[in-house]
Amino acid sequence: MDDLSLIIDFHKEAGRQGPGSVQTTLKALSFCDLDPNTTLKVLDIGSGTGSSSFVLAKMLNAEIIAVDFLQEFLDVMQKQIEERGYSDKIMSLCASMDDLPFKKESFDLILSEGAIYNMGFLEGIRYWKNFLKPHGKMIISEITWTTNNRPQELQDFWVNVYPQIDTASNKIKQLEECEYRTLSYFTLPEDCWLKNYYIPMQNRFDAFLDKHNHSDEAKALVESEKQEIALYEKFKNYYSYGMYIVEKI
Ligand code: SAH
């Protein structure tokens, strides 16, 4: 199995592929003032196996398109869409977030949790705006510094992994410069990382290693996830996901 197949195999078993929670998705939605009397057109970008899409489907009168570029994640989601009776509300679509097959101004709401970094925050907010209707809403979670200064070790690590990591004030400025109006902002609490993401991940390590006969590649993947968790535990006061809730002007 190549490295990407291993990553997919490890993460597709999870309820979510990044930090977050039902409560924080609902909290973000609460700032959007969406019209309950029309069937909303909603896009979930980088949906993974659908952690956010299922919250949207439960809460909204909406047709939801869940986009991810990994068909394996969408296959897991599709099975749940059928099992949970959401076939009339959620459609999964395999496409890349930087090359979306939609008409301009088609969506009332675009949501993307823990995924925009794959194309870059600035590139994503500029490109995705095309697909929002006027006054359409957008909810984005993005890795964010929670303080103005931080240890050099942490700074070096993140700037190497994701050079666009920045403070919320700078991210909000970028959104405003891109002609979005800020509706709200909050930081994801620790439970979103540990209880909902890292602890379930740790609980999968042994079965994953057994399944792959403790291959060097599987051990390397587990090791790198362990390092990511250790980094979070050491430096969690300095970064989190920020939840940005905005409106297209
Ligand atoms: N929103 C989900 C998944 C977050 S993980 C959750 O919060 O649980 C990031 C997701 O983005 C993964 O599912 C990954 O496959 C997807 N992704 C990465 N690059 C992508 C791209 N270029 N186009 C579409 N999806 C992409």
C-alpha distances out from residue 173 to 61, 121, 128, 169, 181, Å? 32, 12, 17, 6, 10
pLDDT at 2: 87
Average pLDDT over residues 132-143: 98
Token pair for residue 56? 């949207």
What confidence tier does 1 reach under pLDDT thresholds 50, 70, 90? confident
- Specify the ligand 1 atom closest to the Cα of 118: 19
The percent of residues above 90 in pLDDT, for the chain, comes to 98
pLDDT at 104: 98
Angle at 218 between CA 16 and CA 117, to 5 degrees: 40
Binding pocket residue ranges, ligand 1, CB within 6 Å: 16-18, 20, 46-48, 51-52, 68-70, 73, 96-98, 113-115, 118-119
Closest CA to 51 of 83, 75, 20: 20
User: What is the residue-averaged pLDDT of the chain?
Assistant: 97
Residue with tokens 């002609």: 179
* Ligand 1 center–CA 212 separation, angstroms: 24
pLDDT at 184: 98
List strand residue ranges (DSSP E) for 74-221, in order: 90-94, 107-113, 132-145, 166-167, 180-187
Between 1 and 204, the more confident residue is 204
3 state SS of 236? coil
